[in-house]
Amino acid sequence: MPYACARVPFFAAAAAERAEPTLREHAVAIVVGAPPATRVVEANAVAREQGVMPAMTETEARARWSRLVTRPASVDLVEAAHAALLEAALGVSPRIEDGGAGIVYSDIRGLERLFGDHAHIAARLARAAHAVGLPARVAVATTCTVARMATWRRSARVTIVSAAEQAAWLAEMPLDALELEPELAATFRTWGVRTVGEVAALPRPGLAERLGEGGVRAHDLAHGRDREPFRAYTPPPFWMEALGLDWELESLESLARVLAVVVERLCVRLRTAAVTADALSLDLTLASGRHDERTIQLAYPLHDPAPLLTLITLDLEAHPPGAAVTRVAVSAHTVTARASQANLWQPPAPALRDLAGAVARLARLVGPENVGSPILIDSHRPDAFTLRPFHPSDGDGVGEGRGAVEADVPARAQLVMRRLRPPRAVAVQTVDERPVRMEWGGWHRIVQCAGPWRVSGQWWEQPWARDEWDVACGDGTLCRLARDHVTGAWVLDAVYD
């Protein structure tokens, strides 16, 4: 079973060179952090020949080579380069596996009739990678593990490892070719193990006893065994529908009619693939030549055209495009639809289309940043919370029956705190800093009080501190008072029922 592995060495640097081809002639280092704490995370072959290595500070790297060229680490460049490598491999073999940044495996069984022997197939894969700006090393072997380790050979662009020579070839590979965790590799070095062959010669039971799963994994890799089955890579689908126009759309009504056609086509595709959209991206080409791009987050994943069109229309009403529209494009971010069982102990939930429309109308009235599910913040500040996008499947009360909650409540009387939001400003008289009278719809004498309980926080930015008291008034009212230490104001925070 021949497999090919294409590896682009020093991938982050190669991604930068792909964006700027002139960098290939220079020593290049990819750095992170802000001066003077800038640190090298990757360096190309030219820089490594001058002694520049990852984990160095930029100052140390420039001391090794004064003409070093640095570029900031870019996730976008790395992701784009890796996508280009996967597409190049798909042009040679229909079965490939994503091996991580800069590595792709190809199942080349049966390709001999198309491209020739294994050497020709490997050369074709190397040319395909080079065509997209990525100088890849390619190796062919009986397993993906051996093929990956074979790409460590810097002297050869293409390497073929036959089954007969595999054991002898692996024995000469350096320990680094196994790409072990740093701690595990350091352990092997303290034992005097320097090559893959020496790891393979170690007793497997002893490795399992001393190093656990990591030792067994290293032993399997040293023998060239694949630890996992081949997982074929499937390109992500392109969920977009567009419509170019020979005329200009100047009114929202005419634009909505065109959008209805585009959204209907998109929803047919979504239903056919059994997926739903949890976000829509709308790209409007304007008569002025500009683009109006916007993203519409959905309260619940949908694939029905009517509610999606309603949400888009509401967003356009709130934020009209700046000129007439000449082209419409709608794309969807998709998720797999999940079935859920209704609960017998609570009323049926609203229809998804009605729920999504209601959330969209609320967002239009109060702003999208003010609509969502409240999430408590890890803070001592009372009522500190933030909002996240609302989703009915978050578990916030969904699926918990009303009858089940009531069944857990004991029959005995309970004391319940009723929080007042916003808190009521009150006047309080104190003796020795303890409240004795409170003005709230008239003056009330405080007969008992417990406290204070001081809470504070955020001294590093906007400090706050307050004392809380539980008090009992002469008329039997139980309540909680709070005094703000910053302003000195008293508030009625809660009443006990």
Domain ranges of the chain: 3-160, 166-222, 240-336, 417-496
Q: Say what the pLDDT of residue 339 is.
A: 59
Q: What is the largest CA-CA distance in the chain?
A: 98
**Structure-token match 């009150």, residue found:** 426
Q: What burial class does residue 138 get, using C-beta atoms within 10 Å of its C-beta: 0-12 exposed, 13-18 middle, 19+ buried?
A: buried
Q: Which helix (H) or strand (E) holds 75?
A: helix 75-90
Give phi and psi for 135, each to the nearest 5: -75, 100
Fold of 240-336: Dna Ligase; domain 1 (3.30.1490)
Looking at this protein, which amino acid is placed at residue 156? A
Q: Say what the pLDDT of residue 69 is.
A: 92
Extract the tokens encoding 339.
Answer: 């079935």
Q: Say what the pLDDT of residue 34 is.
A: 81
Fold of 3-160: MutS, DNA mismatch repair protein, domain I (3.40.1170)
pTM of the model: 0.57
- CA nearest neighbour of 138 among 230, 162, 21, 153: 153
**Per-residue model confidence as pLDDT tens for the chain (497 residues):** 689 999 999 999 999 998 888 988 899 999 998 887 889 999 999 999 999 999 899 999 999 998 999 999 988 888 888 988 998 898 899 899 998 889 999 999 888 888 889 999 999 999 999 988 899 999 999 999 999 998 887 667 888 988 888 888 888 888 988 888 989 999 999 999 999 999 999 999 999 988 888 899 999 999 988 888 888 888 777 788 888 887 888 888 899 998 998 888 888 888 877 788 888 899 999 988 889 999 888 777 888 888 888 888 888 888 889 899 999 999 988 877 555 566 666 666 655 556 666 776 777 677 777 777 787 776 667 777 777 766 655 444 333 333 333 334 444 556 788 888 788 888 888 888 888 888 877 888 888 888 888 888 776 777 788 888 888 888 888 888 888 887 888 888 888 87
36 phi-psi bin (left φ>0, alpha ψ -120 to 50, beta other): alpha
Helix runs in 132-276, H state only = 144-150, 166-171, 182-190, 196-201, 204-211, 213-222, 252-272
Distance CA 60, CA 31 (A): 12
Distance CA 436, CA 188 (A): 74
DSSP string, 36-69: TS-EEEEE-HHHHHTT--TT-BHHHHHHH-TT-E
The Cα-based distances of 157 to 89, 122, 165, 428 in angstroms read 16, 9, 19, 83
* Residue pair 481/468 in contact by the 8 Å Cβ criterion: yes
For the segment 103-118, what is each residue's pLDDT rounded down to a tens digit? 999 999 888 888 889 9
Q: Say what the pLDDT of residue 463 is.
A: 79
Q: Say what the pLDDT of residue 404 is.
A: 35
Distance CA 473, CA 154 (A): 84
DSSP string, 251-296: SHHHHHHHHHHHHHHHHHHHHHTTEEEEEEEEEEEETTS-EEEEEE
**Structure-token match 């703000």, residue found:** 484
- Rounded-to-10 torsion of CA 236, 237, 239, 245: 110
What are 260-263's contacts with CB under 8 Å, separation 24+? 260/305, 260/309, 262/328, 262/329, 262/330, 263/305, 263/308, 263/309, 263/312, 263/330
Helix runs in 319-447, H state only = 352-366, 402-407
Q: Are strands 3-7 and 158-160 parallel, antiparallel or unpaired?
A: unpaired
Looking at this protein, which amino acid is placed at residue 130? H
Give phi and psi for 286, each to the nearest 5: -95, 160
Looking at this protein, which amino acid is placed at residue 447? V
- CA nearest neighbour of 471 among 422, 423, 432, 438: 438
* 334 beta partners: 277
Distance CA 29, CA 39 (A): 9
Q: Say what the pLDDT of residue 52 is.
A: 92
Distance CA 115, CA 320 (A): 55
Question: Chain centroid to CA 225: how far?
Answer: 32
For the segment 385-430, what is each residue's pLDDT rounded down to a tens digit? 777 766 655 444 333 333 333 334 444 556 788 888 788 888 888 8
166-222 CATH = 1.10.150.20
Q: Say what the pLDDT of residue 408 is.
A: 44
- Matching CATH topology for 166-222 and 240-336? no
